[in-house]
Every structure is written in structure tokens, then in C-alpha cells.
Chains A and B, each alone.
Chain A
């Protein structure tokens, strides 16, 4: 089991251009067991600024987990993923692809870019909540996170 305790909340970065989806994720995590702080970026450029603490993000924490949508304007999900996985200071952060796309090409492509897992946004609300909870639960309580290893 993970050694995570209440000493600090888990930092989660959601990268998604759809505020509706972000809010659903927030709702799904509301009554979760895990103490968390959610940060959002609405496209790849904003996410990069957050991760590299540029501009208004100069005090941003390094996230423990990134939830990444694929279809976004400016810099899309797979471009951002490639950027993260090429950056030695960022590549250890687990990236969960959370997307509406069920395209085979998207799945293969993102795994080839070292995505840590690929999850479809379920169409049904209950399923969506369940899925988000189990993903967060797995990454934040079951496994050992790289950001927590002393």
C-alpha cells in the first residue's frame, strides 16, 4: 500500500477545455476518500505554463497526477503528453488520458507516447463518477507515486 497520509493533499491537474467535464470530475471527487486539490488548465499551453511555473503559475505545485483530455485547441493532448514525457523533470508524473475518443489510433498513439493509462469518459453519469473515482483511487492510494518517494 501507498504510504500517502494526510500530511499534504494530493495535487491533481486536470487538462480539459470543456468546463462541463472538469466540473463532473470535481463532482466525482467530492466525496472521495482522498484529500485532493484540483487544478485545471484548459489546453496544452496552459498546462505547460502550470507545470513549468511560468507567469501566474509561479507558485504552482508539481502535480502528483495529470488527467489529460485529447481534443483541445492550440496544443492538444498528445502534443502535451509528448512534451511532458520528454522533459526529465516532468516525465515521472503519471498521466491518465481521460477522453471521449474510443479511436484505436488515439489509444495506440498515446501509449506509444508513454501515457500511463487510457480511460474513456463513460457516457453514463454514474459510470463516469465510478470510473473517475476508481482511477484516482488506484493512482493515489494503491500504488506508490514517484512524487512521494523520498
Chain B
């Protein structure tokens, strides 16, 4: 290769380097100035370079900000925290941004999130910062917190209300019920046939209302009178539930089997009630053959899902949601007695344990109830 052509090559190369530099400068300019993220360089606590978006967030023109101390835009009570967070992040601690409030030119307070990295700028140490406006998100979070708190309060109030009425109505109802029973005991067959009939309706109505109130009280107790959570061995729980159902199990020659069941974090008394209601339903809604109930459990991370499978009459899938509502019944009292509170109580207990309850079933083909328990053990409000 000749000398001349080498020189030509060198020139061409240097021209292409100059071109590259030009191109990256242009790229940097576009990225920096057009970025939708507020971007800036701070040296010795003062803005050296700011982009349009930062100026927009702070409400100033870009050149108004150059040379100004960056902390002067931070709300006074947040300054210490900003300083600490920035230092920690510059030392490499934590990659998540930190949030604080700034005051813009119009004296409006905004929430922002900032991340910083150490750089060299004009051969001296500097900080490259980026910042986004999170005011809207913050306001939504605050609103959400308010709504959640309000909902919790009104839930608690409602529970308290249900508790008080079901509790306080029992006393007067006991009077109605006792004295109609006393009337029946002392005067049946002494008045006329109409009187006997009327009295028997009054007696039955009062008795039914008592069981309704009793179950409503139990329902409201799940939230208001629950015990603190502790580790609970679910095999013991199922054994207790079965012991409580001993007579019913014997009467219909049912077989109840269960796998190895785990220990969960919960309210033991309520978990016994839960299994007892579900096993009890399996016995109650049986077909002609002897009931068979199988209980299994599966763990996935912190969530344990139990299933209770029976060979009973099954449920039409169109009712698979509504059966968990209070006082919901799918049969007449003559067909199957009950208040329609059993599954509502189950749902309430499961939800207190951070889980969900559902059913899979077809009429005539048995039902499988599933419920989950969060074993991380946080009680849900």
C-alpha cells in the first residue's frame, strides 16, 4: 500500500470517528433534553445541567435552575431524608428510587421519585439524577388507604351491629318463645282446634327465629370474637370436627377419610367449625348410598388448599356462588332443615384466614368444596 493511500485511510478513519462522536453527541442531546424523565447533573449540591422535563416538574425555565442548590426545591422536612437516601444510593446501596416532596415555582407541593448515580462531569465528581413526578400515584395510594380504612371501619361496624342485634334480640325472643311454649304445654286440647293451630304456628315461628338469630350471632362472632392465630395441626382439627359429628356419622354409616394434613396458622376453634360445617353438609345432603367423604390438602408456597369431596346430591353450578351468601337455601325446610348460614360462616372463616372457598359440582354427582388458608399467617381484616 502506498504512503498516500495510508494517509487517505487515516483521514477517512478520523473522519468516521468524528462522525461517530457527532452522532453520539446528537443522540445524547436528544435523550437528555427530550427525555420524559427529569434528568440533571449536580455538582457540589448545585445544578450544572438540567433537562426540559425537570424544569417542567419544578415549574421553572431550564436556565433559571442552573447554579441553584438542588435541595432548595425539596420540602424542608424531607431534606434530611433525601440527603441520606442519596448518599446511600451513591455508595451503591439499593437500586430502588426514593420518594419525597418538592415545592415548585408556583408553591405547589408534588411527590417525586429520584434515583442517582455517581459520575464524573468535567473531570470532577458529580451526581447524575433522574426524577419522575409520582404525585398522581401518591394521591391514589392515599385515596386507596382512606377507602380501605373506611371499608374496614364500616365492616367492623356492620359486624358489631349484627352481633348486637342478634345478641340483644335473643332475650325478648326467649320470652315470646318460652311463653308460647308454656301456653302450648298448659292449654293444648283445652281451647279449640283453631287455638291449638295458632299456638303451634307461634311456637314454631319463635323456635325458627331463635335458630336464625343463633346462627347470625355465630356468623358475626367470626369477625368480632375470633381468637388470635397460632399453629394448628389440621389432622387434630378434622378429628375434633368428626368427634362433634360422631352421632350423625354413625347414623348414616358415613366413611370420612383424610390424607396427611399439614399444620397451618389460624384459629383452631374456627377451623374445627369450618371442617364440621363442610363434613356435616356432606352427610346431610347425601344420596341413598352411605356418604363417603375424602379430605385432601395441597401446599403451594404459603397457600394450603384443602378439598372436601363427597358423593352426595351435588349442586347445580348456577348456585355455586350464591350458596355462600347468608340465609341462602336451595331446599325447603321440609326437605332439609337449616338456616342457610352454614356455608356463609365457612366463607367468613376462610376469608379471615386469607383464603378463598369454592365448590365444584354437578347435580347427582357429588360435590367438592375447596378452600385455601394462607399459612404465612396474616389475619385479614
Contacts and interface: CB of A to CB of B under 8 A. Distances in A.
A20 B182 CA distance: 12
Interface residues of A, number: 13
Given A123-B210, A125-B185, A18 B178 contact: no
Contacts of A27: 182
Contact of A100 (B171, B179, B182, B214): B171
B378 to A, nearest CB: 25
Contacts of B214: 123
A61 B287 CA distance: 64
A125 B202 CA distance: 14
Contacts, number: 28
Interface in B220-269: none
B19 to A, nearest CB: 85
B182 A121 contact: no
Contacts of A128: 178
Contacts of B182: 24, 27, 125
Contact of B171 (A18, A124, A126): A18
B181 A125 contact: yes
Contact of A20 (B178, B181, B185, B210): B178
A121 B174 contact: yes
A100 B170 contact: yes
B21 interface: no
Interface in A91-134: 100, 121, 123-126, 128
A100 B181 contact: no
B175 interface: yes
Nearest to B178: A125
Given A123-B210, A125-B185, A24 B178 contact: yes
A125 B181 CA distance: 6
Interface in B169-218: 170-171, 174-175, 177-179, 181-182, 185, 210, 214
A18 B173 CA distance: 13
Contacts of B210: 123
Nearest to B171: A100
From A24, A124, A125, A128, residue with most partner B Cβ within 10 Å:
A125
Contacts of A121: 174
A76 to B, nearest CB: 14
A125 B175 contact: no
Interface in A1-53: 18, 20-21, 24, 27
Nearest to A128: B178
A20 B170 CA distance: 14
A24 B176 CA distance: 12
B196 to A, nearest CB: 17
B175 A20 contact: yes
A119 to B, nearest CB: 14
Given A100-B170, A100-B171, A123-B210, A20 B177 contact: no
Contact of A124 (B170, B175, B179, B181): B181
A105 to B, nearest CB: 10
Interface in A50-93: 71
Nearest to B180: A125
A124 B214 CA distance: 13
Contact of A18 (B170, B175, B177, B185): B175
Interface in B134-175: 170-171, 174-175
Given A21-B175, A121-B174, A123-B214, 13 more contacts: A18-B171, A18-B175, A20-B175, A20-B178, A24-B178, A24-B182, A100-B170, A100-B171, A123-B170, A123-B210, A124-B177, A125-B182, A125-B185
18 contacts: A18-B171, A20-B175, A20-B178, A20-B179, A21-B175, A24-B182, A27-B182, A71-B171, A100-B170, A100-B171, A100-B174, A121-B174, A123-B170, A123-B177, A124-B177, A124-B181, A125-B185, A128-B178
Interface of A: 18, 20-21, 24, 27, 71, 100, 121, 123-126, 128
